[in-house]
Amino acid sequence: MALEPVFGIADWVIGIFQTLAIIVLAPLMTGVMRKVKASSQKRVGSSIFQPYYDLLKLMRKDEVISDQSSWIFRFTPWVVFAATATAALFIPAFVSFTPFSIAGDLLLVVGLFGLARFFTMLAGLDVASAFGGLGSSREMMMSALIEPALFITIFAISLTYGGTNVSTIVSSAVDATIASSAGIITPTLIFASISFFIVLMAETGRIPFDNPATHLELTMVHEAMVLEYSGRSLALLEWAQSIKMAILLTLLVNIFAPWGIVSAGQPQQLGSAILIAPLILAGKMLIVAILIAHIETRIAKWRLFRIPDLLAMAMSSSMIGVIFFYL
Amino acid sequence: MDFPQFDILAVSSALLLVTTFGVVVRQGFLDWLSAYRYQAIALSAVTAIIAYVTGIWEIYIAAALTLAIKAIIIPKVLTFVTQKIKLEVKIEENPYVSLRLSVLISAVLVALSYFLVLEIPIKSDPVVAAYLPLSISLFLIGLFIMVIRRMALNQVVGLLIIENGLFLFATALTHGTSLIIEIGIFVDILVGVIISAILLVRISHTFDTLDIGKLESLKDS
């Protein structure tokens, strides 16, 4: 797969634009998902711009920090936001490559998420409130199970597309769809997509794993860890959470449904396609968001000790994907 | 780099495996019954693909019969016959092997059957190459499910998965046995399911449980 895009000024502009688009539009996507969820539950729901209003309000508010907390507590929101925003650099959104991908691959994205999660867990423990410790211990249990499933999934994907680099993966996927439009429907990718979807729900704390809207003490996982935060720190954490969701959704649709992404292999279409590609991406992400909202409406949060069952399904699904590749 | 080609045989076998795992992970009686319905639909689609690839029209009839009997009649009959059984004995709450482990072991069984078939030095057509390991893995998963379930009613699903595996085995390997035999087998499985369900209703009336661990102990009165 000799895809060596020459990185001119235009490529860098596109790359930065993609990253900024993910970071800026992530709260909007969260708002859309909340709206879809509300309407599937026969509620009116808040405006789709509500997450922006929340962020602005939180930015202006004063912060309360426990005098028992250490520097980790103050440091964490910035680390989490920086790590997540850095991960957004490596994600090709509507052009099949991103110039920053020379610096890192999918494993680095997972590593950055891991760093963010590690600091969130430390901050949960740092203030020594009962809920923080509880949330941290649950998050540790879940992440220890999410990561093997995610790595086998990445393994299956990179076997199919020849590399762990996100640009390589998405470019190969786009080229495969150009070669034949059903070219990417292989057993390996079917199993990998099931596994990736379960991992996505777990990573972003959607309903079978964790309820993102809860403030009921006994069921929360992520919310328990960030319970002590207020003001600007909380705004950063919530924004980082939206960006993480946007990154994983973009990866999902770009790897498993790469129709309509601008490929570097067809420069003659670049001008027109670059205008349509963001719309196609938004449409695909909207479909997945509606799917997730309906799943969240239809099923209840699972008991904490049943969550390993779901992650075992993800793990075995990606294992079978790898087996199918080697046949 | 050569891109993966769209291979209808491989993709359909993958979908059948997905639906099979859907049956494995369901614990309640009505839950696995609806999952089994999806598996039957996938099996009928696979049978239709075999008919399309080989060009034998009789297999289309077998596919239609699969859809009618396994996706509609058997679930309806099972629901009807067992509606008198108490709800709490229908749910598999405490199987011998936990759910997460059974999913992983099923994946290992799939791997095992694929590698077993790779070891057999036969020259065969693509239909056999795609569906022979799949039918063996369905057989092994069904056997495994039957062994690990504690409630007798939920062991029926193992039998049904094994039967699906055998049906696929026969259809893929022989490109359709004669139609009269197929119909005989379908009626056989239907009657078998009805008889086992009625037997289970009797057991649940007599012993007040379907837990096979408790059936061994002598009843004192």
Question: Do the domain assignments include residue A185?
Answer: yes
- For A165-168, the CB contacts below 8 A with 24+ separation are A165/A101, A165/A105, A165/A106, A166/A90, A166/A91, A166/A92, A166/A98, A166/A101, A166/A105, A166/A106, A166/A109, A166/A251, A167/A92, A167/A96, A167/A97, A167/A98, A167/A101, A168/A1, A168/A3, A168/A101
CA-based nearest distance B15→chain A, Å: 8
Whether residue A139 is contained in a domain is answered as: yes
**B187/A contact by beta carbon, under 8 A:** no
* Cα A157 to the center of its chain, rounded Å: 16
Burial class (CB in 10 A: 0-12, 13-18, 19+), B177: middle
Query: For tokens 């704390």, what's the residue?
Result: A205
Query: Average pLDDT in the A91-98 region?
Result: 82
Indicate whether A204 belongs to any domain.
yes
pLDDT tens, B57-67? 888 888 998 89
Q: For A58-88, what is each residue's pLDDT tens digit? A: 999 998 888 888 899 999 999 999 999 999 9
Range of the domain at A173: 9-38+52-326
- Buried b or exposed e, range A293-312, using 16+ CB within 10 angstroms: bebbeeeebeeeeebbbbbb
B107-133 mean pLDDT: 85
Q: Provide the number of CB pairs (under 8 Å) joining chain A to chain B.
A: 76
| Cα distances (Å, whole numbers) of residue A113 to A84, A106, A119, A168, B155 | 6, 11, 10, 21, 43
Q: Do A262 and A274 contact (CB within 8 A), yes or no?
A: yes
Query: Is residue A46 one of the residues assigned to a domain?
Result: no
Question: Per the CB < 8 Å rule, is A172 touching B3?
Answer: yes
Residue-range domain boundaries for chain B? 2-218
Interface contact B11-A179, CB threshold 8 A: no
**Helix or strand holding residue B112 (H, E):** helix B99-119
- A95: phi then psi, degrees, rounded to nearest 5: -115, 145
Q: Is A90 contained in some domain? A: yes
Residue A271 resides in a domain: yes
B99 touches chain A (CB under 8 A): yes
% of chain B at pLDDT higher than 70: 95
Which one of A169, A172, A320 would you mutate to disrupt binding with B, by most B Cβ within 10 Å of its Cβ?
A320
Task: Name the minimum distance, in Å, from the CA of A323 to any CA of chain B.
Answer: 6
Instruction: Report if residue A314 sits inside a domain.
Output: yes
pTM attached to this predicted model: 0.89
| Domain count within chain A | 1
pLDDT tens for B185-216 read: 888 888 888 888 888 888 888 877 777 777 77
- Note whether residue A102 is domain-resident: yes
CA A7 to chain B, closest CA, distance in angstroms equals 22
| Cβ contact, residue pair A323, B104, below 8 Å | no
Residues in chain A closer than 8 A to B25 (CB atoms): 309, 313
Q: Flag the least confident range among B97-106, B118-127, B212-221.
A: B212-221
Query: What is the distance in angstroms between the Cα of B1 and the nearest Cα belonging to chain A?
Result: 5
Q: Which residues pair with B151 in a beta bridge?
A: B211
